Chain A
Amino acid sequence: MTGDKGNKLARALPGSSLDDRLGTDAKLDSSSQKRIGDQLRAMYDELMQQPVPDRFKELLDQLDKKKDGAQ
Chain B
Amino acid sequence: MTPEPDLREALLAAVPGLRAFAISLSGQVDRADDLVQDTLLRALSNLHRFEPGTNLNAWLFTILRNLFHSEYRKRRREVEDPDGSFASRLKIQPEQGSHLDFEDFREALSQLPSDQREALLLVGASGFSYEEAASICGCAIGTIKSRVNRARLRLAATLNVDDMDDLGPDSMTRAALQG
Contact = CB atoms under 8 A, between A and B. Distances in A.
Co-complex (A, B): yes
Interface of A: 1-4, 7-8, 10, 16, 18-19, 22, 24, 26-28, 32-33, 35-37, 39-44, 46-50, 52-53, 55-57, 59-61, 63-64, 67, 71
Interface stretch (B16-24, B49-57, B165-173): B16-24
Interface residues of B, number: 54
Contacts, number: 123
A64 B139 CA distance: 35
B153 A67 contact: no
Given A52-B16, A56-B12, A4 B143 contact: yes
Contacts of B20: 44, 47-48
Contacts of B118: 3
Question: Chain A interface mostly helix, strand, loop or mixed?
Answer: helix
B24 A27 contact: no
A5 to B, nearest CB: 9
A47 B92 CA distance: 11
Nearest to A16: B113
8 contacts: A1-B138, A22-B150, A26-B153, A35-B156, A46-B102, A59-B41, A60-B12, A63-B44
